Structure 1
Amino acid sequence: MSVYTRADRERWAPEPAKRRGRTAFERDRARVLHSAALRRLAAKTQVADPTDDFLRTRLTHSLECAQVGRELGRSLGCAPDLVETACLAHDIGHPPFGHNGELALDAVAQGCGGFEGNAQSLRILTRLEPKSFAPDGRSVGLNLTRATLDASMKYPWTKSENPKYGVYLDDVEVARWVRQGAPDGRLCFEAQVMDWSDDVAYSVHDLEDALVAGHVRLDQLADSAERRAVCVAAAKLYSDAEIAELEERFAALLREPYWPKTYDGTSATLAGLKNLTSTLIGRFCLAAEEATRAVYGDGALSRYNADLIVPRAQRLECDLLKGITAHYVWSRHEVNRIRQRELITELAALLAEDAPHSLDRVFHAAYLDAVDDADRLRVVIDQVASLTDTSALAWYRRLTA
């Protein structure tokens, strides 16, 4: 018997009855998979400017996250299609240049409430992606089910409720509908699975990319001073642990038999890296599965009948892997990061000067219907956020030619 109710499968706007053969969650997966917003992630930065075709983009990261989430969710009794869709959609609101572009757009958008990639994801899924319309003519985006939208939301509250937010004031109505009956301040179980799958996928794969690109060498991590610098970065950005605890965990991780000793670009050492990534993903997911099952038993876990439990050791290891990328990769690209923020800021100003004519046709009506400057600014922000790294550069060059 399904653990998902009829209310979980309801959509924001009513739709005609569908042919039998696919479940509501399978249809949600297809809608996200075929969306233009997901395709654009192929040309949006993951961590740093790609130097070859090995390195991940936001799209390849989302696909890998979806595979991790589907298998972890299935092992815990979730609907696999539901968790996979949430993982596919979790980064769909990221602007050009990733978190760097997010910082720039947030500064530009202060006049309309700020910018946040997770809040933009909800906006795309429920409003901006041109797929479905309500009987009154308003766009409802992909019109996903309540459960899918809930699973896609990492921070289902507004900025006034929590500085780390995922709902704009414009989108409070749909967020309330999604969260109807949900306990205050608590993520549904599938969202927790999605969130951990995201951390697992990007921490492990960004390490692999950093090693292959030459941003970090394995012999550096054998040096205690280098490890301490990584621990400092991890403690500053991700972890609540003391430096000494992180150092101890880091040293233990490097002693694991599957941790490679060298990488020189040969097929054998590249295979060693692949073995490292698959082993770490299995380690992180199995630890969460076993810890969660130890508390909640062997039944199907979903919605609000459980919380995902991740052992502290694996959370710290994940934080350390993210710390490696932060320490070795971000600093290397700081000059580029400054220029990217400047470009996004200038591009938004250029588009605002001649809007709506400067905007894609899909944004014209929203701009003309805007009731005040804040609403008009939000449309310009939506336009910039929809661009890829490549198209943002092209638009900037065209507008400044």
Structure 2
Amino acid sequence: MDANQPGAERPDARRSGGYTDADVERYVPEPDKRPGRTAFQRDRARVLHSAALRRLAGKTQVVDPEAGGTADTDTSPRTRLTHSLECAQVGRELGAALGCDPDLVETACLAHDLGHPPFGHNGEMVLAEFAAECGGFEGNAQSLRLLTRIEPKRFTQGTDPVTGEPALLSVGLNLTRAALDAATKYPWPRGGHPTDPRSRKFGVYPDDLPVFAWLREGAPEGRTCFEAQVMDWADDVAYSVHDVEDGLQAGHIDPRALSSGAERADVFACARGRYAPPDTSPEELAEALDRLLAQPWWPHRHDDSALGQARLKDAASQLIGRFCLAAESATRRRHGTARLTRYGAELVVPREQRLECAVLKAVADRYVMQRAAQERRRAEQRVVIGELAETLLAGAPEGLDPQFRAIFEGAGDEAGRRRAVVDQIASLTDAAATHRLRR
């Protein structure tokens, strides 16, 4: 077998217990420059030092980074980067408690949002429409594309798919099979959801299927690995808790409103429409919210004093602990005390905690995302992404960065050229997208 082909040799990097040689294999074999580190420690370092992770500092989480406050009050809302770091801390500890390699879970958490475009899900919606003719757009599929193709770290000798000539081809960060699998929330292509073909969620574009097939070797079809399940719950926990914390800190959420019947009805309607399972009743959501309101640490009021800030931070800590301990205990009751890795177990999250999490997401949605000022700003952002996409496509390859210009010029059809424009836009921060359109 050619030494440059995937799977040509087994890596000799150390691996922690519970993982096989196949789990630490890389798409393109490479030597370990520093013996003594595990393959998953190397994966974590690669994501942590990537330009893609740094760019998340300029990408919207819920409130865009430029709208964080005034000269008098800097509320410093979370960005995609701070969310990813917090998700990584939650996931690392939960994964370690259940027997996962902590570096592997942290890598997945750090990488899970790398593919999100400017302006968060708002930008994702516009790019999905623009990219409909070339395989669509989904932030999770873009993350896989970035990890395995776009982020420049490793190249291998191969064949140009258009010219058929020998060429150096990027394999992105060249992470291990287990790391790529752990970062894959939706292990299927567009329209391939195992139970809901109408779902817009998917994890791979058509032209990335070869590496996807490699990383999924031996995996049950449509099933996420245990580490990806831990990452997914850590993501839910981090953003549900911290978005409410940000909303309280910024004064957008009045805790007293959660005792009003009309306000609660709005929150429950939002939760049922977007965040809770389809069979959830308003009564169940009311019980979930009331369980949280009954906790001694729940912030029934908030002020900007040092004591008020400490109370709010303690409430966030209590919520994270509540959600993680519930999942850990329920999973251990089902699977016992063994190390839980890869496809040897399923993460169990009690319905009560899933609904509490859904209610928190709905609170942030109702009082932060649905504010009139945010609605206007999101409309403006959609115009920016839509006009930028059409302008870049019309003028390409002019206006594209050298990396994406090369992809555009090397594409063999219109779909490939449109995908290059999508890749360019997805790589930009919020401010860079606005600036590029003006330029």
TM range (shorter): over 0.9
Gaps of 5+ in 1: none
Partner in structure 2 of residue 145 of structure 1 = 176
The one-character-per-residue Cα deviations of 1:267-320 (angstroms, maximum 9, x if unpaired) are: 111111101000000000000000000010111000000000000000000000
Partner in structure 1 of residue 423 of structure 2 = 382
- Residue 170 of structure 1, CA deviation: 1.0
- Residue 106 of structure 1, CA deviation: 0.6
The one-character-per-residue Cα deviations of 1:329-361 (angstroms, maximum 9, x if unpaired) are: 121111111110111000011111111121001
State yes or no: 1:356 paired with 2:378. Answer: no
CA contact 1:44–1:96 (8 Å) conserved in 2: yes
> Which residue, 99, 103, 111 being the options, matches 1:81?
103
Question: What is the letter of the counterpart of residue 292 of structure 2?
Answer: L
Matches of 1:384 and 1:53, distance apart in 2: 28
- Residue 8 of structure 1, CA deviation: 0.2
What pairs with 1:41-56 in structure 2 (closer than 5 Å)? 41-49=56-64, 50-51=67-68, 52=74, 54-56=76-78
- Residue 17 of structure 1, CA deviation: 4.0
Partner in structure 2 of residue 11 of structure 1 = 26
Partner in structure 1 of residue 136 of structure 2 = 114
State yes or no: 1:314 paired with 2:353. Answer: yes
State yes or no: 1:252 paired with 2:252. Answer: no
Matches of 1:44 and 1:386, distance apart in 2: 10
State yes or no: 1:190 paired with 2:227. Answer: yes
Greater per-residue helix proportion:
1
The one-character-per-residue Cα deviations of 1:124-168 (angstroms, maximum 9, x if unpaired) are: 000000110123211000000000000000001001312321111
> Which residue, 138, 161, 166 being the options, matches 2:203?
166
- Number of equivalent positions: 398
- Residue 53 of structure 1, CA deviation: 5.1
**Superposition CA RMSD, Å:** 1.0
Q: Secondary structure at the match of 1:135?
A: strand
State yes or no: 1:177 paired with 2:214. Answer: yes
What pairs with 1:94-113 in structure 2 (closer than 5 Å)? 94-113=116-135
Partner in structure 2 of residue 203 of structure 1 = 240
Identity %: 60
Partner in structure 2 of residue 281 of structure 1 = 320
- Residue 207 of structure 1, CA deviation: 0.3
- Residue 23 of structure 1, CA deviation: 0.8
More deviation in 198-207 or 219-228?
A: 219-228
Matches of 2:115 and 2:100, distance apart in 1: 24
What pairs with 1:212-231 in structure 2 (closer than 5 Å)? 212-231=249-268
Partner in structure 1 of residue 10 of structure 2 = none
Matches of 1:113 and 1:331, distance apart in 2: 30
CA contact 1:227–1:250 (8 Å) conserved in 2: no
Q: Secondary structure at the match of 1:258?
A: coil
The one-character-per-residue Cα deviations of 1:17-66 (angstroms, maximum 9, x if unpaired) are: 43312110000000000001000000000001332352100000000000
